[in-house]
Amino acid sequence: MLVVADSDSYVKYGAALAEQLPASWSVRIVVAAGNAVPSPRQLADAVAGTRFVGADVPVVGLGDLRRLLDGWRPDVVIAAARGYTVQATLSLVANTPQRPVLVSGIAGVSIPVLPYGLGFRRSVDVFVTHSHHELAESQRVSRRVGIPIRFELGTLPYLAAARAVRPEPRGRRRIVFAAQALVPSSRRDRQWLVEKLAETARQHPDVDVVVKVRARAGETQTHHEQVGYEELVSTLREEGRAPENLLVEDGPMRRHLEKASGFVTVSSTALLEAVAAGVPVLAIDDFGVGAAQINVVLEGSGVLAGAEELVAGRFRTPDPQWVHDNYFHHTADDTWADAVQGLLAVRAFEGLPPYRELPRSWMNSMREVWYREFAFRTGRTGWFAWAERRFLHAALTLNRGRWRLITALSGRPSPRERTVEPEPTRVPAP
């Protein structure tokens, strides 16, 4: 089995997903040489607790990956990567009956289901979803947009390790904030959130408030982070407004959950890891609830609340029915590994049917070139490099303005202007 990833979060996802297949399989993992290659520290954090600890995780270009596919001839390829890397990777697979079984999924919450995310993964034999809710919604959107994909259910691979975390930490208590690259998007909102974390630290001097970051200065991550929390906390410290117990740390999330008495985020998938570990949680909803905030799936969970609850140190446990429908189903419901085994049997006896390719057109041919360029940096100089910079700049500009546009269209006040009525406390202050 070959796992192809392209960023820190997808290395973590791919490595953990591979753990759900037989331990006797020979497995290799590689990272596409794109624009989000993780640092050695990030790689070590991503594979912690998996069979890849201490293993060589090479960074591969387009030619390297083609030679690996042709020479090693894997039986299964897990494209654990961003959409265009999935498309670029699978386009290298010879479309013959003895081709490998092709698998993909999304590293975390995928509700709302985005049609372009399905389009990038149209070639896979098995698309792994991680809850009954995701499975039903993915099937619905797939039918609506006319992209037939076989969806199967699989437990979010981080949760098994998280369940082993000791829920009652020893030593000094901690509140862990999971930072995200995309939300909130503006400097103003991120600064406001850091100030709320600082206020929480001042209100609870016996508790460490830890800003858990995915990338340090100079490191990349799956999504570009325009304003890093490390920078914002440093600025606050230089101004003398950051208490000593407001900390910025990196490292595997599991290590932080072992010490946490409370967990907070806007919509990070790490919230699910915290729930699995038995850590009380809080999802800040001062920035709204919607697709732009990546927190639609948390509606009805009982964990959405304003930052005033954070400052007060009040955390929650999610609604049991929401837990069952969203990511915490019984592992006996999982179907994806059996589906892969079944396809391997079909491959052995009669061969696999052709995978779905992009329809042949000059536009799709250009798209294929662009996908390979973004995924593997095949040509870093000349007009390709210039065009890539312009494309990424436009994408970042659009991302930067999306929250302001949504706010303007919806009439929703900014978080500083909102008055939030806290919901009933379910868990005592840590």
Q: Which domains does the chain have, with CATH numbers?
A: 2-155+330-363 (3.40.50), 162-325 (3.40.50)
Q: In terms of Cα–Cα distance, which of 114, 115, 110, 120 is closest to 102?
A: 120
* Closest-CA residue to 426 (of 259, 302, 321): 302
Q: What is the pLDDT of residue 382?
A: 62
DSSP string spanning 239-268?
TT-S-TTEEEE-S-HHHHHTTEEEEEESS-
**Residues in contact with 419: Cβ distance below 8 Å, sequence separation at least 6, in sequence order:** none
Phi, psi of 109 (to 5 degrees): -70, 130
Half-sphere exposure of 217 (CA within 13 A, CB side): 6
Q: Tokens for 187, please give them.
A: 């400097």
CA distances to 277, 293, 294, 397 from 410, rounded to whole Å, are 36, 14, 17, 20
Quick one: residue 183, left, alpha or beta (phi over 0 = left, psi -120 to 50 = alpha)?
beta
- Whether 201 and 245 have beta carbons less than 8 Å apart is answered as yes
* Helical spans, DSSP H, in 50-110: 62-72, 83-90
391-395 CB contacts, 8 Å cutoff, 24+ apart:
392/35, 392/224
pLDDT truncated to tens, each residue of the chain (430 aa)?
A: 999 999 988 999 999 999 999 999 999 999 999 888 998 988 998 898 899 998 999 999 999 999 999 999 999 999 999 999 999 999 999 999 999 999 999 998 888 898 989 999 999 999 999 999 999 999 999 999 999 999 999 999 888 766 766 555 567 899 999 988 778 878 899 999 999 999 999 999 999 999 998 765 655 555 455 677 888 888 998 888 889 999 999 888 888 998 899 999 998 889 999 999 999 999 999 998 888 888 889 999 999 999 999 999 999 999 999 998 899 999 999 999 999 999 999 999 999 999 998 888 888 888 888 888 888 886 555 665 566 556 655 554 554 454 444 444 444 444 444 433 333 333 333 3
* Per-residue model confidence (pLDDT) at position 378: 66
pLDDT of residue 421: 35
Query: In the prediction, which pLDDT does 152 show?
Result: 98
Instruction: Report which DSSP code applies to 173.
Output: E
Do 252 and 165 contact (CB within 8 A), yes or no? no
Contact 46, 12 (CB under 8 A): yes
pLDDT of amino acid 167: 53
Whole-angstrom distance, CA of residue 121 vs CA of residue 124 = 6
Here the contacts of 382-390 (C-beta below 8 Å, separation 24 or greater) are: none
In the chain, how long is the greatest CA-to-CA distance? Answer: 70
Strands (E), 40-125: 59-60, 76-79, 101-105
Nearest Cα residue to 135 out of 326, 337, 293, 332: 326
214: its two tokens? 């995915």
Secondary structure (DSSP) of 293-312: GT-GGGTTSS-EE-HHHHHH
